[in-house]
């Protein structure tokens, strides 16, 4: 029988979805033993719904609970950095919602703490899991796709005033960024996960849809290390919510499903450019075993990493790569220049990409 890890979920907004999709279906691997939220009413509703008796408003108290193995951080973005550092320091395993932290300096600090800790850290990128994206990944990893040529990534979602009624949203100090950090971060991660590392970015950011501090519309022209070209565009002013990734390779054209928040679930259009590739893809996918999407599989594989049977399904290095892209976008947009990746400690926005007038310290 596999070991059951005890979890404390901190923040019961998306944290409730972690329970519904991630922990309940993996009840042989995880048990949610505690909830932590400042909003007691909200916490009581979730606690009652799932029979979770232990409830606290004090995050620090979780750190000294010896029977808690995993701290799952689902609080607003500005709290991730201190909470992840404290949990790692306490030797807990940590799951943390996106964006992991708010700068390259912070992610490097977290990665150093991770090395010192007996706990493992897994950032959340749940869009990576499901039959559609995993079949595409299998075809690419098997070498069947061939040379990457070009791609487009569209994050066309809709966010209206009601969304920004939650006080932490739309502000640099608390959301840490806009559509780049909060929304397009998922499709952009899927894109690099499938097509490879970015070499340089010419990006523009704008605030066009809502009266907020952070950007809600972005676009970039990107050159990959492989030489492939891509364009990334996102806005929160679309008529509805659509995520669409199209990848053109030498032997195959791949198009994601368009479900905004779960594009990895349904089968993707994998269109071979020749008969040999078609036969090879058919053979590869012939005995495909269903992979549940989103948190169910991400948490299941996290368990595998905890018991040592598989690597972490998402790593802090993956988060660093996504935050490098965000940093490059902001720098490119403010300077009108092409930004070459990777970005190190000498980059002007290494400490912070927040515009000077919004910096608190
Ligand atoms: N992976 C995804 O697809 C996805 C989707 C939505 C949100 N998110 C991320 O999840 C995080 C939370 O977003 P949300 O939409 O659930 O926000 P939310 O505001 O609905 O929920 C956050 C909860 O955290 C609680 N909280 C705030 N400060 C706290 C503290 N000091 N200690 C304990 N609890 C505290 C709040 O009371 C609130 O209930 C954000 O980082 C967001 O970007 C990710």
C-alpha 228/C-alpha 348 separation (Å) is 27
Give the pLDDT mean for 126-151. Answer: 98
Residues 6 or more apart in contact with residue 72 via CB below 8 angstroms: 7, 8, 9, 10, 15, 18, 94, 95, 96
> Do the beta carbons of residue 153 and residue 230 sit within 8 Å?
yes
- Among the four given CATH numbers 3.40.50.9100, 2.30.30.110, 3.30.360.10, 3.30.470.20, the one describing domain 127-296: 3.30.360.10
Kindly state the tokens that stand for 75. 């609080």
The pLDDT-based confidence of 239 (bands split at 50, 70, 90) is: very high
**CB of 74 shorter than 6 A to ligand 1:** yes
The secondary structure of 252-297 as a DSSP string is: EEEE---BSS-TTTSPPEEEESSHHHHHHHHHHHTTPPP---HHHH
User: Rounded to the nearest 10 degrees, how much is the dihedral formed by the CA atoms of 158, 42, 263, 290?
Assistant: -170
C-alpha 88/C-alpha 53 separation (Å) is 25
Express each pLDDT in 151-200 by its tens digit: 999 999 999 999 999 999 999 999 999 999 999 999 999 999 999 999 99
pLDDT at 359 (0 to 100)? 84
Residue nearest to atom 40 of ligand 1 (CA): 76
C-alpha 112/C-alpha 121 separation (Å) is 11
**CB of 65 shorter than 6 A to ligand 1:** no
Kindly state the tokens that stand for 43. 């916490």
Q: Residue 85 C-alpha to ligand 1 middle, in angstroms?
A: 17
Q: Residue 240 C-alpha to ligand 1 middle, in angstroms?
A: 23
pLDDT at 361 (0 to 100)? 59
Helix (H) / strand (E) element for 246: namely: strand 237-249
Residue 146's nearest CA partner among 226, 213, 67, 221 is 226
C-alpha 25/C-alpha 56 separation (Å) is 24
CA atoms within 13 A on the CB side of 162: 1
What is the maximum span of the chain, computed from C-alpha positions, in angstroms? 61
Give the pLDDT mean for 232-251. Answer: 98
Residue 99's nearest CA partner among 196, 14, 192 is 14
Residue nearest to atom 31 of ligand 1 (CA): 38
pLDDT at 159 (0 to 100)? 98
For residue 360, pLDDT over 90 is answered with: no
Q: Residue 76 C-alpha to ligand 1 middle, in angstroms?
A: 4
> Do the beta carbons of residue 243 and residue 259 sit within 8 Å?
yes
**Domain spanning 5-124: which superfamily?**
NAD(P)-binding Rossmann-like Domain (3.40.50.720)
Could you say which DSSP state residue 105 is in?
H
Which has the minimum average pLDDT: 23-37, 248-262, 345-359? Answer: 345-359
Express each pLDDT in 42-55 by its tens digit: 999 999 999 999 99
* For the chain, percent of residues with pLDDT exceeding 70: 99
For residue 352, pLDDT over 80 is answered with: yes
Residue 239's nearest CA partner among 115, 130, 156 is 156
Alpha carbon distance, N-terminus to C-terminus of the chain = 50
- Does the CA dihedral 32-37-42-48 come out positive or negative? positive
For residue 1, pLDDT over 70 is answered with: no
Give domain limits for the chain: 5-124, 127-296
C-alpha 85/C-alpha 226 separation (Å) is 35
**CB of 123 shorter than 6 A to ligand 1:** no
Bridge partners (DSSP) of residue 161 are: none
Average pLDDT, the chain: 97
- Does the CA dihedral 115-120-124-125 come out positive or negative? positive
Q: How many helices (H) and strands (E) does the chain have?
A: 12, 14
pLDDT at 241 (0 to 100)? 98
Express each pLDDT in 17-33 by its tens digit: 999 999 999 999 999 99
Q: Residue 333 C-alpha to ligand 1 middle, in angstroms?
A: 28
**CB of 55 shorter than 6 A to ligand 1:** no
């Amino acid at each position: 029988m596999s070991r059951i890890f005890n979890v404390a979920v901190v923040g019961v907004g998306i944290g409730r979805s972690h329970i519904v999709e991630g922990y309940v279906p993996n009840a042989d691997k995880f048990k949610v033993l505690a909830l932590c939220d400042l909003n007691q009413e909200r916490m009581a509703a979730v606690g009652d719904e799932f029979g979770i008796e232990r409830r606290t408003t004090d995050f620090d108290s979780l750190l000294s609970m010896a029977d808690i193995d995993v701290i799952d951080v689902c609080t607003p973005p500005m709290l991730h950095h201190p909470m992840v550092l404290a949990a790692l320091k306490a030797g807990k395993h940590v799951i943390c919602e996106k964006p992991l932290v708010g700068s390259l300096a912070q992610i490097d600090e977290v990665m150093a703490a991770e090395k010192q800790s007996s706990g493992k850290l897994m950032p959340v990128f749940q869009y990576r899991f499901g039959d559609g994206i995993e079949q595409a990944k299998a075809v690419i990893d098997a070498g069947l796709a061939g040379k990457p040529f070009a791609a487009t990534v569209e994050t066309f979602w809709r966010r209206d005033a009601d969304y920004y009624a939650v006080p932490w949203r739309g502000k640099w100090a608390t959301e840490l960024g806009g559509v780049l950090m909060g929304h397009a971060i998922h499709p952009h991660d899927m894109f690099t996960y499938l097509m490879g590392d970015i070499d340089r970015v010419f990006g523009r950011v704008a605030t066009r849809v809502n009266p907020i501090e952070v950007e809600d519309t972005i676009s970039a022209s990107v050159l990959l290390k492989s030489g492939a070209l891509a364009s990334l565009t996102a806005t929160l002013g679309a008529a509805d919510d659509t995520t669409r990734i199209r990848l053109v390779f030498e032997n195959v054209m791949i198009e994601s499903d368009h479900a905004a928040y779960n594009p990895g679930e349904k089968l993707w259009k994998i269109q071979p450019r020749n008969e040999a590739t078609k036969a090879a893809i058919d053979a590869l996918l012939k005995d495909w075993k269903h992979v549940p999407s989103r948190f169910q599989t991400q948490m299941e594989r996290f368990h595998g990493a905890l018991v040592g049977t598989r690597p972490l399904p998402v790593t802090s290095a993956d988060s660093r790569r996504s935050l490098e892209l965000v940093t490059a976008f902001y720098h490119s947009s403010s300077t009108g220049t092409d930004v070459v990746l990777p970005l190190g400690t000498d980059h002007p926005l290494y400490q912070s990409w927040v515009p000077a007038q919004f910096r608190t310290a």
